[in-house]
Amino acid sequence: MFRVLFLMLALLAGLIAGPYLSGQQGYVRIETTNNIVEMSITTLVIFFVIALAIIYGLEWIVTRFLRLSRGSYNWFSSRKRVRAQKQTLEGLMKMNEGDYAKAEKLIGKNAKHSAEPVLNLIKAAEAAQQRGDEFSANRYLIEATELAGSDNLLVEIARTRILLQQNKLPAARSSVDSLLEMADRNKEVLKLAVEIYLRSKAYQALDKILDGVENSGLFSAEEFKDLRSQTENGLLDEKMNEEGVDGLLEWWDAQSRSRRNNIDLKVGLIQRLIDCNDHESASEFTVEVLKKIGDNTSISKELCTQITRLQPEDNSKLLKLIEKRAKRADETQKCCINRALGYLYVRNNEFAKAADVFKNVIACPEQLEPNDSMMASYVFEQAGDKALAEQVRQENLKSVMAIQDVVSESAEEKIEENSTALLESKSE
């Protein structure tokens, strides 16, 4: 609008000033190498106005063309975005239905035109991995990394998850180690770290993040207790297998007081010391445990089991503690403690005392363990009561035969069911 007004004013000025200058106007001379152009000032003004009008006209035509091109480009881009959004939603539905091939095609086809192309590429990678195409999954992840950059947490989490699904544990562990440096409080990162460390048996690395896992709220109190127990027992196995008894005891002494006061973990230590044939150290720890929990606290079945395995040179201290407990044991603890006491007597060749306590053991048939009857018959025979030893053997044989009959009946029923199903299928 301003340009049109300027041209009109310039033309009006020329028309007004033209008559005034008609009698005294000079001329304009333009001389080049080969040509000479002469014109009046009025003609020059008119020529100038026409030239401006032509320039403005050309500019308007070019602008209109560019606006038309931009509008066309915007229309096509909008159409692609809408189509990409529609295909993304369809792909997510197919993914939930388990049709991963179709989901990958829909989500990855127009990923670059979607609102969040990185998310599309990640989902396409997950779909490709679900159908077993590792090459396509890695290709989508590379494209996502190029778009998002190497420090994008979301892409790195997806990469780690897919490496875990591909069972590439060394690469997954390296990836999750980097993720923990980037975001050590992120719940998804911690969840992946726990799973990867457990599967790769990296208990030392898992032990370092246990406090963060506990504070994250990923697991309930009971689940976290099981996780901590699994980690600590894994550390015991790791030290025992790599460094033997000396390394195991040295590691134990370096632990925090709360961990060394953990009764269940100390029972696990006793078990591994017995496995390493260090019965003296195991016996000392067992005495410590029994003194710590006191006479009024029940002892676990696991601890009783380890006591039956102990073979120290001198078990007098342990024997006194167990004898004291056996006198106060209730019905739930009676069988377990008497079993442990009986084995200690056997180690000392005190078969008469062992026979007395094994009578209490076999008096609780619902709490018997597989070796109890065999040990009891041996103890009774060594104590001179051969009739009772034979009776225990016969009862044990009857129970074994009864179990075999039950197993045989269940096997016959299963064979009969399979035969009936086969006949029915043939008749159809």
Give the chain's residues under pLDDT 50: 73, 75-76, 403, 405-409, 411-412, 415-416, 418-427
pLDDT at 425: 47
Torsion of CA 237, 243, 249, 252, to 10 degrees: -60
First and final CA of the chain: distance in angstroms? Answer: 89
Q: State which H helix or E strand residue 39 sits in.
A: strand 36-40
Torsion of CA 26, 28, 31, 34, to 10 degrees: -90
Nearest-5° Cα angle at 62, 56 to 67: 125
Instruction: For the beta carbon of residue 254, count every other beta carbon within 10 angstroms.
Output: 9
**Rounded CA gap, 214 and 260, in Å?**
20
Report DSSP state, residue 296: S
Q: Nearest-CA neighbor of 302 among 262, 341, 264, 345?
A: 264
pLDDT at 60: 77
| Structural tokens at position 79 | 């159409």
pLDDT at 55: 81
Residue pair 372/362 in contact by the 8 Å Cβ criterion? yes
pLDDT at 323: 87
| Structural tokens at position 209 | 């993040």
Residue 191 C-beta-side C-alpha neighbours within 13 Å: 10
pLDDT at 77: 53
Residue pair 52/42 in contact by the 8 Å Cβ criterion? no
Q: Whole-model pTM?
A: 0.66
pLDDT at 13: 66
**Rounded CA gap, 183 and 164, in Å?**
19
